Structure 1
């Protein structure tokens, strides 16, 4: 099944809005996740050793989640840049159009299914 290039301005505007919505949601997740990344107190008088270990583990998980959100935001910003440059929806490897359904699921996709599957 051959993909049709996304050249319609309305479709590109819809993808740009989708990307901006996802960026806004990630920014909100960042705001909510700030507390989980706070420095863990090492005062054993206020918190037991196991509780402190749980807090350190939660902090590490929050930082890992932040790293994933940062990577997603970089990909989404790159997709917006591709829209502005007229390169959105084309495979980086072969130059063919990426299926719109694939871009609906992942607007950061830069390779068509043929190239992505090897």
Structure 2
């Protein structure tokens, strides 16, 4: 991969990271607290479901941030775009879909 592609993906990843971090800041208080004043079973179930959904969204955002950080480190070491398993180049079209991919299509299917 040439320097132009490295720079393109670095910019894309940094934009993705900034968007995730700004979303995380705005939704920091979205974690639902259980309202003990609600007495209905369905109200408690709704609150629990909302709490679980908020925690899962936070978990997914954290995982995506880690994947972005990992991709940025691979760009810095110029190993970005190579499959972790077979060390072949990951097609640019695949990286355009998700710049955090670490495996080529053949190795994902294995």
TM-score (norm: length of structure 1): 0.83
Q: Residue 45 of structure 2: which of 38, 48, 53 is its match?
A: 53
Q: Specify the alignment match of 1:39 in structure 2.
A: 33
Contact kept in structure 2, 1:91 and 1:112, CA below 8 Å: yes
Q: Specify the alignment match of 1:3 in structure 2.
A: none
Q: Specify the alignment match of 1:90 in structure 2.
A: 82
Q: Specify the alignment match of 1:22 in structure 2.
A: 16
Q: Specify the alignment match of 1:99 in structure 2.
A: 91
Partner-residue secondary structure (3-state), 1:110? coil
User: CA shift at 1:89, angstroms?
Assistant: 0.3
Which of the pair has more CA radius of gyration?
A: 1
- The count of residues paired between Structure 1 and Structure 2 equals 109
Hey, what's the Cα distance between the residues in 2 that align with 1:94 and 1:76? 21
Contact kept in structure 1, 2:32 and 2:51, CA below 8 Å: yes
User: CA shift at 1:48, angstroms?
Assistant: 4.0
Is 1:9 the counterpart of 2:9 in the alignment? no
- Segments of structure 1 that go 5 or more residues without pairing to the other structure are 1-5
Which shows bigger deviation, 63-72 or 103-112?
103-112
Hey, what's the Cα distance between the residues in 1 that align with 2:33 and 2:16? 28
Deviations 1:14-47 (A, max 9, x none): 10010011111111221232222143232x2xx3
TM-score (norm: length of structure 2): 0.89
